[in-house]
Chains A and B, each alone.
Chain A
Amino acid sequence: MHFRHILSALGRHRIAVGLLVLEIAFSCAVVCNALFLIGSRLERMQRPTGVDEAHLVEMFIGSVTRGSADAVMAQTRTDLAALRAIPGVANASVVNQTLFGNSLNASGVSLSDEAKAPSIPVTQYMGDAQLADTLGLKLVDGQWFKPDEFITEEQLESGHSGLPVIITKALADHFFPGQSAVGKTIHAFGTNRVVGVLDRLVQPHDSGPAEYYGYAMLFPVNLPYTEGAYVIRVRDAAQRAAVLQGALRALKADGPLRLISPKYAFTLESQRDKYYRNDRAMAWMLVGVCLLLLVVTAVGIVGLTSFWVAQRRRQIGIRRAIGATRGDILRYFQTENFLIATLGIALGMVLAFGLNLLLMRHYELGRLPGYYFPVGAIVLWLLGQLAVLGPALRAAAVPPVVATRSV
């Protein structure tokens, strides 16, 4: 190939070539990082919660006239019986906080009861004996709570200590790496003995460092409905809407005046959608910026190459007249573009790396994985070749007879 000729021709347009190289480099850097950002958002949106998401619905109920604690608790038992009797309901329970909900209940947890012991905030789920089955939680070690271990909310408020706890595998691995957590003690509400380890359960919403997302505890507490939400597992995912309607009807039919509204009844799936709405918007925005950047870069390549083709019409005619084929001319412009793109990509890799360092400093982002570099390079090479094709074909169509004409 005639690299030397191409290079010497490019040398005559140093500024224009420089600008094009810069443009390609910058696009490459942004595209690499944007793809990485999109990838990490998608990964974040796919994190499992450890519960049976497809079959869960939940309702929050505002208590308008507050009765005595006993009356509320009795009402809770009546409600739960009514909910479990609805056709299509597998199980129902009260939980203190819901996944993707706004409230997050957490305690500082440490391995010792000294005040200065290092502690981390861990979210706590509380609920009755049916909660684990309702949520569809899986135990990987130890056992579930025994029926006599469940306490009331008043006992909890009055500082009941020695409550057993079930923790997630992620939390167990954090506190007791390489050993079974069952039988060990942690300090959350006083001293708590670990009786079981869950495969997975996550924070209601992201709080603290990313690895804390999978840290959660489960406590055996029989809560009144005013302290949390009803969560219901249906047998068939298609019945979720019908079950929600049925549940609203069942609860309205019975009990004191209270706030029961479809506004506070959701499927877990819709809550998940809502929770990740911003991530989705951000991912689409990044896709949009990438596409626009590529379009603008292509515009630059088409514009400049067209100019060069027009400027060199005479030279092209001469080359054609002395024996160059159409293919030779086509390949000349394609090679030229390949060289410029390669220069741009090489510079772009350095920029992409720098940009990633900058993002890591300001946005808690990981290091750009190596495979994004070749992806970015291939995208820009392809883009360059596509953009240059039109002007290059026009150049190849220049007839040799042009050589015999003056301007």
Chain B
Amino acid sequence: MFGYYLDLALRSLKRTPILTGLMVLAIGLGIGAAMTMLTVLHVMTDDPLPGRSAHLYTPHLDPLPLDYKQGGDGPDPTDDLTWPDAMALLKAQRATRQAAMAGGSLLLRPGRADLRPFYVDGRYATADFFALFGVPFLQGSGWSAADDAAGAQVVVLVDALARKLFGTGNAVGRMVRLGEHDYRVIGVTRDWQPAPMFYVDASAKRYSDGDMFFLPLATAVDRKLDVNGNFSSWGEDRAETRMVSPTTTWLQFWAQLDTPAQAAAYRQYLVDYSAQQKALGRFQRPPANAKLYGLMGWLAHENLVPGDVRLQLWLALGFLFVCMLNIVALLLAKFLRRSGEISVRRALGAKRRDIFVQLGIESALIGVAGGALGLAIAQLGLWSIRQRPDDYARLAQMDMPMLLGTLALAVLASVLAGLLPAWRACRVPPALQLKML
């Protein structure tokens, strides 16, 4: 029967090419707009480290004094950790792996005539950073905890930077001058950039270029290297001691906790640690303020999707809704116009269900055509998004699930839109319409 209904549907659509074209256009525009914005939302809230993200957690403490007042829309100081707290958490070793980190931007002097000095973004981190996030090495390796303790003058480069500086040859063992100091390259990682960059400070761009180098955190602190990010201070704030001050937060901290039980234990440890610090008089606020966020939970907490994008998504969905209203009205007109034909089929023995299925297939056919048009329009929309200056813009690409999702949504929308008209049409009584013929 399906083939027959398909044939009927094609004939019926061909009979009214303009109306059919308008309906396909309407659903194509609606689906195109909605899928453009859904794709943007999808890439912005995607899992940055599939497979690993479920075991990654970020601990947060509340070392603020009781009378601290958060000013305006400034950064929340408890988003980051102080140096003493981060070091205490590291030493306690309650997680499978854990690392403290902060972003930095340093002037790189290539020492080659054909390359001018340029600034590179990178990360100061403790030894476990690479194993914790599964950063893949091409040459060499990261540094050890002993290097951390010793403040070793070593650096790990990302492949793109290593190639820029040293060509395709072996970079390990070469020297790089970053800021005012020389560092020995001990490893080269594959170009590695999770999107969004979940581990960066709230002031950083989360969808722009990733880290190009990695330095031991202790080395950065020893040398007071420039940090990209918020320093939130609520006590004495002097430039010389800022990095190690117990009243300045600036470090990000991530831990790998393999089981829910381990996560629960870590959460308890954070509360116990806060209680201990409170007993020592350093913390003033309730120990229960200490929090442990999972990776996706942290991204949700950070609310990465800008208000404009959310507004555009709602606009696009509203537009799809109007398009669907439109199609319901047009299909209703189209189906009821065929009352004569339907009543003949009914009189010849077609059940209501048969009519309903036949008309449903006709709506779905419009959906398929509209979906194809919608895909083209969405690609156009995404192209225009990629022209925007925002850092997330260049990520706006459709992957396979989104592609299939577009077609599915288009067919679903048109079948839904066809339900009411088909129901009305299949209730056309056979005899009455025949009499009128």
Contact flags B223-239 to A (C-beta < 8 A → 1, else 0): 00000000000000001
Other-chain contact of B67, A27, A62, A116, A293 (Cβ < 8 Å): A116
A369 proximal to B (CB < 8 A): no
**When chains A and B are docked, how far (Å) is the Cα of A212 from the Cα of B109?**
41
A residues sitting closer than 8 Å to B (CB atoms) are 15-16, 19-20, 22-23, 26-27, 30, 34, 37, 62, 64, 66, 108, 115-116, 119-121, 157, 207-209, 212, 259, 274, 277-278, 281-282, 285-286, 289, 292-293, 295-297, 299-300, 302-304, 306-308, 310-311, 359, 362-363, 407
CB distance from B343 to the nearest CB of A (A): 14
B125 to chain A, nearest CB (A): 24
What is the CB-to-nearest-CB distance from A345 to chain B, in angstroms, rounded to a whole number?
A: 15
Within 8 Å CB of A303, what residues of B?
19, 22-23, 326, 329-330, 333
A299 near B26: Cβ-Cβ < 8 Å: yes
* Contact B73 A207, beta carbon cutoff 8 Å: yes
For residue B131, CB closer than 8 A to chain A, the reply is no
- The 8 A CB mask of B305-327 against A (1 = contact, 0 = none) is 00110111001101101110110
Q: Does any Cβ of A come within 8 Å of B260's Cβ?
A: no
Q: Which residues of B contact A311 (CB under 8 A)?
A: 337
Task: List chain B residues, Cβ under 8 A from A289.
Answer: 33, 315-316, 319
Shortest CB–CB separation between residue B423 and chain A, in angstroms? 10
The answer to whether A15 touches B107 (Cβ under 8 A) is no
Q: Check A304–B333 contact: CB distance below 8 A.
A: yes
- Which residues of B lie under 8 Å from residue A363 when comparing CB positions? 307, 311
The distance in angstroms between the C-alpha atoms of A157 and B390, with both chains bound, is 36
User: Which residues of B are found within 8 Å of A209, using beta-carbon distances?
Assistant: 72
Q: A37-B311, A207-B73 are in contact. List 11 more A-B contacts (CB 8 A).
A: A26-B325, A30-B322, A62-B119, A285-B315, A292-B319, A296-B323, A299-B22, A299-B25, A300-B325, A303-B22, A303-B326
Residues in B with CB closer than 8 Å to A282 are 308, 311-312
- Which residues of B have CB within 8 Å of A108? 71
Q: Chain B contacts of A119 at CB under 8 A?
A: 71
Q: Which of A19, A64, A157, A310 contacts B337 (CB 8 A)?
A: A310
Chain B residues near A259 (CB-CB < 8 A): 107, 117
Interface of B is mostly: helix
A15 and B322 contact, Cβ closer than 8 Å, known pairs A108-B71, A121-B71: no
Once the chains bind, are A16 and B332 in contact (CB under 8 Å)? yes
Smallest CB–CB gap between B243 and chain A, Å? 17
Which among A23, A212, A274, A296 has the greatest number of chain B C-beta atoms within 10 A?
A296
Which of B117, B119, B308, B315 has the largest count of A CB atoms less than 10 A from its CB?
B315
Q: Is the CB of B318 within 8 A of A26?
A: yes
Chain B residues whose C-beta falls within 8 Å of the C-beta of A66 in the assembled complex: 180
Question: CB-nearest residue of chain B relative to A258?
Answer: B117
* Contact pick for A304, options B308, B316, B329, B420, CB 8 Å: B329
On chain B, the residues within 8 Å of A310 by CB distance are 337
0/1 string, B68-102, CB within 8 A of A gives 1: 00011110000000000000000000000000000
Chain B residues 318-363 with CB under 8 Å of chain A are: 318-319, 321-323, 325-326, 328-330, 332-334, 337
Q: Is B29 close to A, CB under 8 A?
A: yes
- Collect the chain A residues with CB atoms within 8 Å of residue B325's CB: 19, 22-23, 26, 300
A274 CA to B388 CA in the complex, in Å?
11
Per the bound structure, the CA–CA distance linking A153 and B389 in Å amounts to 36
A20 touches B329 (CB 8 A): yes
> Is the pair A293, B322 in contact by a Cβ cutoff of 8 Å?
yes
Closest to B239 in A: A157
Which residue of chain A is the closest to B306 with respect to CB atoms?
A278
Contact of A307 with B315 in the complex, beta carbons under 8 Å: no
With a CB–CB cut-off of 8 A, which chain A residues contact B319? Answer: 30, 289, 292-293, 296
Q: Which residues of B contact A281 (CB under 8 A)?
A: 388
Asked if B424 lies at the interface with its beta carbon under 8 angstroms from chain A, I say: yes
A299 to B19, CA, bound (A): 9
Chain B residues within 8 Å of A, Cβ to Cβ: 19, 22-23, 25-26, 29-30, 33, 67, 71-74, 107, 109, 117, 119, 180, 239, 307-308, 310-312, 315-316, 318-319, 321-323, 325-326, 328-330, 332-334, 337, 388-390, 420, 424, 437
Report chain A residues within 8 Å CB of B308: 278, 282
Give Cα distance in the complex from A310 to B424, angstroms.
19
A296-B29 contact given A289-B315, A303-B19, CB 8 Å threshold: yes
Quick one: given A116-B67, A259-B117, A310-B337, are A23 and B73 in contact (CB under 8 Å)?
no
Chain A residue, CB-CB nearest to B203 = A102
Known contacts A259-B107, A296-B26, A311-B337; decide if A207 and B330 are in contact (CB<8 Å).
no
A94–B323 CA distance with the chains assembled, in angstroms: 56
Give the complex CA separation of A328 and B109 in angstroms.
Answer: 84
Taking a contact as CB atoms closer than 8 A, the residue among A207, A297, A308, A362 that contacts B322 in the complex is A297
Are A64 and B107 interface neighbours, CB within 8 A?
yes
The CA-CA distance from A20 to B329 in the complex, in Å, is: 7
The docked-state distance in angstroms from the alpha carbon of A274 to that of B329 is 44
A307 B22 Cβ-Cβ under 8 A: no
Instruction: List the 10 shortest-distance A-B pairs measured between CB atoms, nearest first.
Output: A307-B333, A19-B329, A300-B326, A208-B72, A303-B330, A23-B325, A299-B22, A277-B389, A289-B315, A26-B322
Within 8 Å by CB of A208, from B73, B107, B239, B424, lies: B73
Residue of A at shortest CB range from B318?
A: A30
A278 touches B326 (CB 8 A): no
Q: What is the minimal beta-carbon distance from B314 to any residue of chain A, in angstroms?
A: 9
Check A64 against B333 for contact (C-beta < 8 Å).
Answer: no
Question: A27–B329 Cα gap in the complex (Å)?
Answer: 15
A-B contact pairs, 28 of them (CB 8 A): A26-B322, A27-B322, A30-B318, A37-B311, A62-B119, A66-B180, A115-B67, A259-B117, A274-B389, A278-B308, A282-B311, A285-B315, A293-B319, A295-B29, A296-B319, A296-B322, A299-B26, A300-B325, A300-B330, A303-B329, A303-B330, A303-B333, A304-B330, A304-B333, A310-B337, A359-B311, A362-B307, A363-B307
Q: Are B326 and A297 in contact (CB under 8 A)?
A: yes
Residues on B with C-beta less than 8 A from A407 are 437
Q: In the complex the two chains form, is A300's CB within 8 Å of B329's CB?
A: yes
Indicate if the CB atoms of A23 and B318 lie closer than 8 Å. no
Q: Please, which residues of chain A bring their CB within 8 A of the CB of B437?
A: 407
